[in-house]
Structure 1
């Protein structure tokens, strides 16, 4: 008798642990543990989120379920089905929800918004989470490698889904796949089934009025033995961001080691009404007259508004008539950048943010710079960039395609550079390192563009902010100089006027602090610092370096004096560079960034050095010679000629042999 009682007790325990399950056709009588903003509505809906911003909501049964066989650690089979709906008054950035299996109901440290109340930035991806989730996500987050902004994903300890697909279902009627919109507000049913024997997890979704499809949307081979613990909680998680979203669960069924019981769809609670109430017949009868009058007023107002917009849109300032390239409408640029969505952001500069866009009419990819409202010079920088580069056309300059001005919005439209800025490929831990051939070609390209600005265009353009972050790379990794917000123009044969000292520390010529006058020579100094930056893989100012290496120009010059200049080359290149070309670049960088203005070459001479038409002067640990032709009274320092000492007597010019103390500013 005792043996029989013991067997019955064990069977009852096994039934309670292995065959656990429940069915909720509505949640009025459900014993759930709720936290955050989750709650039960008066008619029995499980409301995970409401109109509160930046909050999370969780709902779990009060007791855990046994998911693993304690004798061998294998995970039991389980299945669940639930009906959900997501209401989103404003579709952008409305976050979805997740079905979750977790060892703790509280999900400690979980954040709202993009983390859907599951994880945070520090524990996302940790194997110690022991969390299995099915996300119904309505935001595409590139950080989590989401496939789109309307997808279903299987998450294991991370929001980076192991398997995901756009929301859809396989129709039994025609055998094809049909898309679903998670933000439609319509109820949908989900089936999650795990076969513990075959280690297979299937996920199926369909509209609530459709039968369960024969083919799942997601099917993954996954061993959950290391993911799930013996006792786990099952439930739902959701969260809101800055945009409000209401996420509902209408019914839910769960079972261990068996098929979850079918929900009684007729007993499920009704969702809140969307849209206005139906009007009575009496109002419908009297409505036509009122409606006609209302339509007349609206049409009249719209016509007056459009007429006023067109009239004012045709008014252009003088500088726009003379210099302005194509003027875009704000609407076209808003559509092109998907409403300046964060996911389209490709860069942030001193004057504003840059977004990737696709023009709706031509489908051309562009970059749209939104000039910052916080910029104190805003409009002046905006006009300067249009005037300075609106008519510039060179293969190594970023082309300005057009612009837009609308109610204080200042927008510039450029060619899109798919490989981004040079500094990101040099310093932001890129997947692949730029080769020496690519770097050499980029330097020559920027030099060619700068030579065009200084000598070949109808006016002299002083860029004033040459650096790696302002050099963009096209699809073939050709360097293009951009960001002309600080540029200044003046006519050939005239002197630039004294102006405010602007630029970036480490690239600014020393004479700027004394004279405040930006010239072509100050651009050459910046270009020299840029050459060293690319060749050495180091920023011009590196505070974390040793004392002698903080300033890049000083460090390279010191290594030159010691005869170890090649040691300054980028260690990421290893030995993968041409020694002669590397020496040329390092020495040319020192020559261009010489502290004495008169000793710097002009860009015409730089191009001759790079093309091999004129050799660089021999640099040694003691000295090198700089030979000047006899200049007229009005000739500038940009006409000086650098030559070898052997040409001193033949040139008939003035020769000055300078040692290290002069060459390197007394260091």
Structure 2
């Protein structure tokens, strides 16, 4: 009887959703996504032409696009002895386009999940799971995988797989389709397998049909605009009703609420664009065919007879309901549906921005337990925005650092949201990883991976022989922070201005790798566009002259701060402080004066930290001069971070210049006071900005 109730609900209840043609609960079609109300997070976005882009050609990103509400996977009124059956049908058109180097991303997947996979990793995990956490979220996915990963026992770098709660495919096949005359399909010997390259950039269509009565799952793949292949690429028997059942809420005859959508990811070495052009879904019958002429396809010629021959499969047979009892059942089910709808609506997150978040949301009681009630003995440090406590998550035994945002800070919520929205979506070995967050009454908390060696400034400015960093360690840290800053400026999907690069914001992991953190002041903007920051933010000693004058942050102002940071690491001195006579000392000017006062260029190394007993002279000279060049008073004379990395890696020699060059404040003097070969290098320093 409960199955009949839900069936009646679906037959009599309809609604409308902007941008979507909807016939009823659990049925929708997107012929392009303009005006749609999808639930997006990560790198996902919808372009003006209606294309749903899950990832761009950037490294280590992920994107999700899900139907905005959970759907009731309705039990049909044919009950098996061990459960109930369900049915759904879906089709979508996608493209996977390599980047300019010919590399594709890690792949994408069609997903049905009890909860959107927000706490997931990019790369080989396709934005679906995170192996470092005990994630109980259940999901069913059809992966379109373009990378061979031995960990998941992949057969090749171009396959379609069925994933059940993990990324090791239960059943898989090389991407392609079976062709031949329809009447010949019963004879397997005359079927021809035609392979397809998933990452070719060509639009392809996937059909997914699941019949819960027989537990039969069929998956087909073809180029657009081809007919739906008669023979499936993958045919597999699986009990999805049991797989997706929410044990905490399961009840006989009550549907499982699950989200339907797509996930895609790129890796640190593999990146490409993953896009969805159209999508049709139905829980009560065959998914409606997509209108190819309305899809945002280029140079697509639609076969006029394609839609007419779209589907030749089984049609679910519905049990007739007695007309006399329909009104009673409708009233009862309407009450149940209203109650469910209110519950779902009340459980939505309070803030609009929270729907965009990538990290995991923690319960306050779990963080309180992890930090022993935020006791002082767990305190790792404190700053202008609040305190940071060490702790261990009981669910996974993972050590974490919990930043407790000060409730008195007027910028607390701004800093909190900025750090989640930006850092939560980044993945780089030299950036501190944000694991999750928590909002509890007036409490704002951020959860990071734990850095056992603390902040870098403790090693630079504490006069303890046990904490003195060697020259190789300092150079390694400088290169690491430069790599992280390059990722923020050039290699992510948008430009991120950190605006507070300094030693106290660089944390050291167990292997003494430098990790740039604290993104509370960070701002982002599109590549090729200007930032909209109009007020001064940062720390004295690291602020570029033009930032003090105009208040506008740019990549060049981040580079200036990085230059001051380099000198701080090499010299072991604060960027701004008092000397032994109580006079103000600006580190950039002091290093410049040390160099200018000597008769030879090599004397610049006299400004190195006197605690350094052993160092490589040419490396030290390079670092000190590069620090001065990055802190040049003229923004156009500072190198971009890609060029900085080439200098540090030895791929390009640092241009020769004199101490006097660092005093130039007129851009024309850059060309007038150096040789032509050096001028070409200097004027190219701002490349990429």
Q: TM-score, normalised by structure 2?
A: 0.46
Which protein shows a greater Rg? 1
Q: TM-score, normalised by structure 1?
A: 0.48
